[in-house]
Chain A
Amino acid sequence: MVTGKVIKYGDNIDTDVIIPARYLNAPSPEELAKHCMEDIDIDFVNKVKPGDIMVGGANFGCGSSREHAPVAIQASGISCVIAASFARIFYRNAINIGFPILECPEAAEKIQNGDKVSVDFKTGVIADETTGESFQAAAFPEFITRIIDEGGLLKYLKERQAAKED
């Protein structure tokens, strides 16, 4: 369960604007976070507070496969991303690093910039405390929940490899 203020963007937020390629040689998540969203919202890094929630429209995270994109958003303090839909590589990357994302077209449309929103990851319920509306996000398939519960893909695989070798 997280609660935070919403920072909202539109459709087709690509990974080049989430973290421009000129910063991909940065050595750490913290360095990446300093430039997160800079090409569409120069003020993002100043206004984002730990726990804030990013809301996007359709096809969020499209373009380059750079895992640096969800890493940069996570390191900036954003607690989760809600979008109408996600580009598939971004979706995989977020799950694989254990960063919560929720697909919910209705919430993505109705939640406004600056609203206070809480998200229950277990139930998928997104509550807009500013307007009193609530929304139901699509549940993760059980297979993906297992990956998240293990703490990411590599930990899940390591467990399985260890089990095989025993």
Chain B
Amino acid sequence: MTTRMTMTQKILAAHAGMPSVKAGDLIEAKLDMVLGNDITSPVAIDVFDKAGFTKVFDKEKIALVLDHYTPCKDIKSAQLCAIVREFAKRFNIKHYYDVGTVGIEHALLPEKGIVGPGDCIIGADSHTCTYGALGAFSTGVGSTDMAAGMAMGENWFKVPSAIKVTLKGKLKPYVSGKDVILHLIGMIGVDGALYKSLEFTGEGVSELSMDDRFTIANMAIEAGAKNGIFPVDEKTLEYIKDRFQREPKIYEADQDAEYDSEVVIDLSELKPTVSMPHLPSNTKTVDEVKGLPINQVIIGSCTNGRISDMRAAAEVLKGRKVADDVKCIVIPATQKVYLQCVKEGLVEIFIESGCAVSTPTCGPCLGGHMGIMAEGERAVATTNRNFVGRMGHVKSEVILASPAVAAASAVAGTVASPQDL
């Protein structure tokens, strides 16, 4: 008998201890990892304590990552970090990361092998969907859900239906995973996958690096999706080798799994793409908007702060200068990525070209610190959201782009692709 389940549904069924599930079922599933950061964890800890819980379900299956307002931008932020620090010590939480070891959570957890194929993961951060790149079910939740997860090691889910995203062909030079996901969000809209999974498949998947897959899965939430997920292949297994601390479990969608709809993307046809203010779905090719003046460039974030992103930016910036009226801020997502940038000479390239290079932080992406914009300023950023006021003043603007486009724009002083330089 065939089960006709999507990859997501198979992982959820396994974690609910059920032979099969179908879209719309309400299930309770066991969790392999529960994540929180310095903004969401203090709220979760308060809820956890007030409900009277006195122990966590598993001190090795909770990750507390102080990445958003760190190194602490003000006293209030420091107070929030202190709450998380105390909780981590109280329960001897294994995966606790503070200034010095911390990186941006969604770059850090895969890098450290804390999450992997077949896992069921919740995180009190909407971009927790990133780990779908590894073939895990991973979704963002709020602080109360995080508290529930820490206490019980399980949580409730409505089993999602799915959109099948079939990738074919191969990306052209200067076109990356970021362009793929911006293009997709432009096609289906910011609620195009609301409550659903985005299941990526097709021969084109094998052409994408793991960093490209992380970027694509990361922004599934920007289409409203519950999760984005990639099949596990040789590249996945190579990535997790010597990292992943548990036994990987590989799930595949059934051949005859049911999907709500299918989207086909020919990777070879994609051009450098940007999302114009103020919605990620407001996409244009760089050609359509090039020449628009900018004041700031951010290269980093959980979307694009990995080593291949740094290399892509450095390749464009090498031997060039950031335009006079542009502030370009480069933020490697983790300490390991940062150190690699130092070893490969990328930091030298960034500084020689006139960029500021920062320790890992989410900072400017959410308008926290390290690059807040004034009224009337406009940024090209490799981040994930361009909502009103996201990076500063309510009358500032964010244009989302790949690292190559962001670097080229920094040099041009206007929206530009590397071929325009």
- Chain A interface (Cβ < 8 Å from any Cβ of B): 12, 14, 16-17, 20-22, 24-27, 39-40, 58-59, 62-68, 71, 85, 87-89, 92-93, 96-97, 141, 143, 152-155, 157-158, 161
Contact = CB atoms under 8 A, between A and B. Distances in A.
Contacts of A68: 39, 43
B47 interface: yes
B389 A89 contact: no
Interface in B181-226: 190-191, 194-195, 221, 224, 226
A59 B221 CA distance: 12
Interface of B: 26, 39-40, 43, 47-48, 50-53, 69, 74, 76-77, 79-80, 124-126, 128, 140-145, 147-148, 151-152, 156, 190-191, 194-195, 221, 224, 226, 279, 366-368, 385, 387-390, 394
B388 A39 contact: yes
B388 A40 contact: yes
Nearest to A93: B142
A9 B367 CA distance: 23
B23 to A, nearest CB: 14
Given A12-B191, A97-B144, 15 more contacts: A12-B279, A21-B368, A24-B39, A26-B76, A59-B190, A64-B126, A67-B40, A67-B124, A71-B43, A87-B191, A154-B50, A154-B148, A157-B152, A161-B151, A161-B152
Contacts of B76: 25-27
B144 A93 contact: yes
29 contacts: A12-B190, A12-B279, A14-B387, A20-B389, A21-B368, A22-B368, A40-B388, A62-B190, A62-B224, A65-B128, A65-B140, A67-B40, A67-B142, A88-B195, A88-B224, A89-B126, A89-B141, A89-B142, A92-B145, A96-B145, A97-B144, A141-B26, A152-B144, A153-B148, A154-B53, A154-B147, A155-B51, A158-B52, A161-B151
Which 3 interchain pairs have the tightest Cβ spacing?
A: A93-B142, A25-B76, A67-B142
Contact of B51 (A89, A141, A158): A158
Contacts of A92: 141-142, 145
A25 B51 contact: no
B367 A65 contact: no
B79 A27 contact: yes
A65 to B, nearest CB: 4
B129 to A, nearest CB: 10
A143 B243 CA distance: 39
Contacts of B50: 154
B125 A65 contact: yes
Given A24-B39, A25-B77, A143-B156, A85 B26 contact: no
Given A39-B394, A65-B125, A17 B144 contact: no
A141 B226 CA distance: 19
* Residue of B52, B74, B191, B226 ringed by the most chain A CB atoms within 10 A: B191
* Residue of B53, B125, B156 ringed by the most chain A CB atoms within 10 A: B156
B137 to A, nearest CB: 14
A21 B361 CA distance: 14
A144 B91 CA distance: 30
A87 B141 contact: no
A154 B366 contact: no
A25 B40 contact: no
A62 B144 contact: no
Contact of A21 (B124, B156, B190, B367): B367
A40 B395 CA distance: 11
Contacts of B40: 65-67
A66 B39 contact: yes
Nearest to B47: A154
Contacts of A154: 47-48, 50-51, 53, 144, 147-148, 151
B130 to A, nearest CB: 13
B388 A143 contact: no
Contacts of A27: 76, 79
B367 A25 contact: no
A22 B191 CA distance: 25
B224 A143 contact: no
Contacts of B125: 65
Nearest to A89: B140
A67 B46 CA distance: 13
A89 B367 CA distance: 21
Contact of B126 (A12, A20, A63, A158): A63
A28 to B, nearest CB: 10
Given A27-B79, A154-B47, A16 B387 contact: yes
B45 to A, nearest CB: 12
A131 B385 CA distance: 38
Nearest to A25: B76
A22 B396 CA distance: 15
Given A27-B79, A93-B144, A16 B390 contact: yes
Contacts of B195: 88
Contacts of A89: 126, 140-142
Contacts of A141: 26
